[in-house]
A and B are shown apart, each in its own frame.
Chain A
Amino acid sequence: MNGSVIEIIQPQGKAAEGEEAPPTVVARAVYEHPFIVRLCHWINSVALFVMVGSGLQIFRAFPSFGAKIPQKDLLHWPKAFAIGGWLGGALQWHLTFMWIYMATGVLYLGYQIFSGNYRQVLFTPRDIPGVWPMVKHYFFGGPKPPVREAYNPLQKHAYTTAIGLGVLSVLTGLVVWKPAQFSWLGWMMGGFHWARIWHFAVMWAILGFVLGHLVMVILHGWNNFMSMLTGWKKDPEY
């Protein structure tokens, strides 16, 4: 169904007497988001919510990146914006949902690669010239570049980066979880201590993406939002 187009037409019959009038096309819809992509998106959004919330509760147990002695706290994250209630509870959430988070990641990446659907979202060197005009349009009141495909170059950049951050969140998390078994991966990150810092930094980068993503969803309206639920985008701009 990928790439499918629907032309929504007015019911026939009353149009003309005797002759068969060509149906009037009143709207178009394009199938933008295959089922697996939508499924992964929504499961992952729940999983990400839990991972961030429980991760911040885990961080509350030792809110520092320095030594234990003397302990210099970085920030006191409020308990109200954390999940799990206590360290052990938060770890239960974190260690359970990390499997859901990883499973949707693997399913998503596998589907995108094997279906070829990645082409609509993967940022490639071809997209580079289109980035600046989009930035000018979004942030500096520049003219709107013509819309030719489901994702504009800046969107491709954002989504490709977000997927990259997702992969990094898993890799840094693996080192924090198993610094001995994944010691080679930890070594590449500068050791366990640094992996914990990277893991934390990647979370904030992902939250930055989520914020921008939510703002754009609100700005782009209902049809765009519904496309992530039904797959079909009504009245696309291209």
Chain B
Amino acid sequence: MNRRQIDDKKFRQIGRRELLKLTPVLALGAFAIPSLQERLLKKGLGFNDWAAARLFRPGHLAPTFDNADVAPFEKFPINGYDVDDPGVDFDKWTLTVTGAVQKPGDYKLAQIQSLPRYRQNTRHICVEGWDVIGRFGGARLADFLNAIGADTSARYITVNCADDYYESLDMATALHPQTLLCYEMYEQPLTRAHGAPLRLQIPTKIGYKQAKYLTDLKVTNVLDKVGYWEDQGYSWFYGL
């Protein structure tokens, strides 16, 4: 044990010096300054998204569940940012594909339904905190991207919706085997309130990334629009 004898003045000096070493803690006070707060939190969220993208494993599947664990259809919440039914005309509906693809154009639902159909019981998690297990069916987005000759080295997929909602996805998630262009729930055609005729269903993403009433899909390296909720201040990546 190290023992020293000093006078009170010197002792107080040592105490002051040790106290001053803690000044870096005061840097956290920057978060309390209104003009800096927004910028710092934006940086924090950006770092969080960066880390989240690194934690995403393309081959790792989200948990799937038995039919017995699936919530009854009536108990699957209907959540939209605006209207439950934007009044899509199913006869005229097409998915307009643009961007870095070999075969751009308007795709009919039947063309998407001609791709292999996958059905999965997965958990849908809302950013609010609730979750519900549902049964979803549709074509893999990866298969569709392959069919339209998409450049899968591009960074993003962006979508527009009939209710003016918009979203964007990282390519890794778009190519994930559980990421669906979903046209049925509970083995029935998607209802209008759940996003008919076509929505995204992504068990590795939070709910608001899973846009409904799709009308446009673009493969791109530049995000001119990010996402409706992201523009309000929510996380962009929000992978689960």
Contact = CB atoms under 8 A, between A and B. Distances in A.
Given A42-B25, A92-B44, A96-B45, A67 B11 contact: no
Contacts of B235: 91, 95
Interface residues of B, dominant DSSP:
mixed
The 5 tightest CB contacts between A and B, nearest first, are A96-B44, A62-B129, A180-B62, A68-B130, A230-B15
A3 B2 contact: yes
Contact of A3 (B1, B40, B75, B127): B1
B92 interface: no
Contacts of A92: 41-42, 44-45, 233
Nearest to B77: A68
Interface of B: 1-8, 11, 14-16, 18-19, 21-22, 24-25, 28, 31, 40-45, 47-48, 51-52, 55-57, 60-63, 71, 74-77, 123, 125-132, 203-204, 229, 232-235, 239-240
Given A29-B11, A61-B129, A178-B55, A69 B75 contact: yes
Contact of B233 (A6, A39, A89): A89
Please tell me the size bucket of the interface on A: 35 or more
Contacts of B76: 69
B3 to A, nearest CB: 5
B39 to A, nearest CB: 11
21 contacts: A4-B2, A6-B14, A7-B3, A27-B8, A35-B21, A39-B22, A39-B24, A58-B129, A62-B129, A89-B41, A91-B45, A92-B42, A99-B44, A178-B239, A180-B61, A180-B204, A181-B239, A183-B63, A231-B18, A232-B18, A234-B11
A133 B22 CA distance: 36
A206 B18 CA distance: 28
Nearest to B123: A192
B30 to A, nearest CB: 11
A25 B1 CA distance: 18
Interface in A5-54: 5-11, 23, 25-27, 29, 35, 38-39, 42-43, 46-47, 50
Contacts of A9: 5-7
A179 B15 contact: no
Contact of A180 (B48, B203, B233): B203
Interface of A: 1, 3-11, 23, 25-27, 29, 35, 38-39, 42-43, 46-47, 50, 58-59, 61-62, 64, 67-69, 71, 87-89, 91-93, 95-97, 99-100, 178-181, 183, 186-187, 191-193, 196, 226, 229-232, 234
A192 to B, nearest CB: 6
A26 B44 CA distance: 50
Contact of A181 (B2, B8, B60): B60
Given A180-B62, A180-B239, A67 B41 contact: no
B52 to A, nearest CB: 7
A50 B21 CA distance: 23
Contacts of B31: 50
B130 A64 contact: yes
Contacts of A69: 74-77
Contacts of A3: 1-2
Given A9-B6, A178-B240, 12 more contacts: A6-B6, A27-B8, A39-B24, A42-B25, A62-B126, A68-B75, A181-B57, A181-B60, A192-B125, A192-B131, A230-B19, A232-B15
A178 to B, nearest CB: 6
Nearest to B69: A191
Given A35-B21, A39-B22, A95-B44, A6 B128 contact: no
Contacts of A10: 7
B45 to A, nearest CB: 5
